[in-house]
Amino acid sequence: MSRRREQFTSTLTRALSMVLTTRLNDPRIAGMITVTKMEVTPDFRHAVVGISVMPEKHESRTLHGLRHAARHIQALLYKEVRTRTIPHLHFELDRSLKKQADMLDLIRKAVESGEPAPGSDDVDAADALPPSDTNSAPEDPPS
């Protein structure tokens, strides 16, 4: 990705996060919305926006509201970013944050319960390594 496109994507992501949290008053858009990723096409005409919505029960309704309000959001972004054009926004759900949160929760529960991790047989890491043969002299090459 070109440096210019990276900078534009970063600026647009920050502005979009601000617009979604402070300037949007749509009853369909509920919950905590996080912009997780943004991919802008090389011609700067389209942007795929990955969002995460918490709690999960608001996902489908919020996604529908964002897709419906995309043109209005573009107009708000234009006022914030001040470029010649703002790309057409295409919203998608990104469930990676939820997967990470679930995994961290499982790890936390395992640590609290004191259970060993699956697949470990309470073997110390040092005992699992094969003995090293550092004191032996190297073999003579065959003649």
In this predicted model, what pLDDT tens digit does every residue of 20-43 receive, in sequence order?
Answer: 988 888 888 888 899 999 999 999
Instruction: Describe the strand order of the beta sheet including 46-54 as a list of residue ranges.
Output: 32-40, 46-54, 88-93
Question: Which one is predicted more confidently, 54 or 131?
Answer: 54
Q: Which two tokens stand for residue 78?
A: 């234009």
How many H helices and E strands in the chain? 5, 3
Dihedral through CA 24, CA 46, CA 39, CA 35, nearest 10?
A: 10
DSSP E strands, 13-140: 32-40, 46-54, 88-93
In this predicted model, what pLDDT tens digit does every residue of 61-118 receive, in sequence order?
Answer: 999 999 999 999 999 999 999 888 899 999 999 888 778 888 998 899 989 888 665 6
Question: Which one is predicted more confidently, 22 or 120?
Answer: 22
Burial of 47 (0-12, 13-18, 19+ CB in 10 A): buried
pTM equals 0.68
CA–CA distance, 46 with 87 (Å, rounded to integer): 5
